Amino acid sequence: MKEKLLSLKEAAKNAIIAAKDEHEIDELRVKYLGKKGELTALLKQMGSLSPEERPVMGQLVNEAKQHIEELITSKATEMKNKATELKLKAETLDITLPAKTQSAGKIHPLNTVLNDMLDIFQSMGFDVLDGPEVETDYYCFECLNVPADHPARDMQDTFYLSKDILLRTQTSAAQARVMQNNKPPIRIVCPGRVFRADEVDATHSPVFHQIEGLVVDKGITMCDLKGVLEQFAREIYGKDTAVKFRPSFFPFTEPSVEVDVTCSECGGKGCRVCKGTGWIEILGAGMVHPNVLRSCGIDPEVYQGFAFGIGLDRITTTRYKISDIRLLFENDKRFLEQF
Ligand code: PHE
């Protein structure tokens, strides 16, 4: 029995040393120390020993049991440590790797110019308002003194959503809402998108941007209009910029003007951008027509006003010498990153 015990001990030791993973160790634990294990089986044979031999053998078996347990525990710990070490090695961060760079967004050139323009008008005391892009025929045309047979009302120029609902063709549509909801003095600018059924080319887009201006108060004259617009043009294009007022026509202003500034490309000498004229048209304006004031409940005998509509896209393309308006709407990162 003693020999059996010794060989069992030896076999267990070798098996434990040879074990390759925790699973094998578990199996060995069951094989040698389990209830149905080999050591237990040996203990069961103790009954056949003489009373003198029993305690000696008992002690030997217990020692063997303890020895095997110790071997198993230390092997298990060793394996666990090895596994942890491997795991840590696998998870090591290589802090010398170059970082992934995050490209930050930029302000779109249209927004840069818009912000500059709003700053200029706010410094002159204008409030900034918003108006709806989806408008009624009434606000976009009718109350602006645009007659029913005016060409702007043609389907070819205006996107109609239904008979009376349309996409505004001009930010002037915001004028009447402001005059109906506020008492003079009124001094506002209203920037936003406008829509016209234009063919797309280098200078036309079905969506573009305007900034509407409206001033209504007692004693407002054409001089006020000229002063505000000249000041604006010089702040946007530089103080040497010349401003030219040309007589024009809009149904909602009388008299009406179109305003040109010195071509920023050639300084007025004449070039491709200004088509050789030396001037660039940037806005339409005029004194608010008495019919418009009246339709908004303002007495034209007491109050006068002026209005203007500036083309934001035009100002942006001329300021940055952008040759094609489509670039402003394509959102090509290679283009936008240049600003
Ligand atoms: N709404 C006009 C346009 O789109 C511009 C304008 C605005 C003219 C205000 C006069 C007064 O062309």
Please report, for the chain, how many H helices and E strands are present, in that order: 12, 9
Residue 188 CA, ligand 1 centroid: distance in Å: 15
Q: How far apart are the first and last CA of the chain?
A: 93
Mean pLDDT of the chain: 91
Residue 251 CA, ligand 1 centroid: distance in Å: 9
Residues whose beta carbon lies within 6 Å of some atom of ligand 1: 170, 172, 250, 253, 284-286, 307-309
Q: pTM to 2 decimals?
A: 0.71
Ligand 1, residue 284: give the atom nearest the CA. 8
Share of the chain above pLDDT 90, in %: 59
Residues contacting residue 189 through CB under 8 Å, at least 6 positions apart: 117, 118, 121, 126, 127, 128, 129, 211, 212, 213, 214
Model pLDDT, residue 265? 83
Q: Are 188 and 127 in contact (CB under 8 A)?
A: yes
Q: How confident is the model at residue 112 (pLDDT cuts 50, 70, 90)?
A: very high
Cis bond upstream, residue 185 (ω within 30): yes
Model pLDDT, residue 225? 97
Fill in the amino acid letter for 29.
Answer: R
Residue 63 CA, ligand 1 centroid: distance in Å: 105
Model pLDDT, residue 192? 97
**What confidence tens digit (pLDDT) does each residue in 52-92 have?**
888 888 888 888 889 899 989 998 898 899 889 999 988 88
Q: Whose CA is nearest to atom 10 of ligand 1?
A: 285
Residue 25 CA, ligand 1 centroid: distance in Å: 89
Mean pLDDT, range 137-150, rounded to an integer: 91
Q: Is the pLDDT of residue 171 over 90?
A: yes
Q: Is the pLDDT of residue 312 over 80?
A: yes
Ligand 1, residue 172: give the atom nearest the CA. 1
Cis bond upstream, residue 255 (ω within 30): yes
Share of the chain above pLDDT 70, in %: 100
Mean pLDDT, range 94-101, rounded to an integer: 87
Ligand 1, residue 285: give the atom nearest the CA. 10
Per-residue three-class SS string for 194-239: EECCCCCECCECCEEEEEEEEEEECCCCHHHHHHHHHHHHHHHHCC
Q: Is the pLDDT of residue 156 over 80?
A: no
**What confidence tens digit (pLDDT) does each residue in 179-209 have?**
999 999 999 999 999 999 988 988 889 999 9
Give residue for tokens 């308006």: 325
C-alpha 317 chain-centroid distance: 23
Model pLDDT, residue 118? 98
CB atoms within 10 A of CB 187: 19
Q: Whose CA is nearest to atom 4 of ligand 1?
A: 170
Domain ranges of the chain: 2-90, 109-336
Within 13 Å of residue 282, how many CA atoms lie on the same side as its CB?
27
Give residue for tokens 């110790």: 70
Q: Residue 57's closest CA among 35, 36, 42, 38?
A: 42
The domain made up of 109-336 has a fold known as: BirA Bifunctional Protein; domain 2 (3.30.930)
What is the chain's alpha carbon radius of gyration, rounded to the nearest angstrom? 45
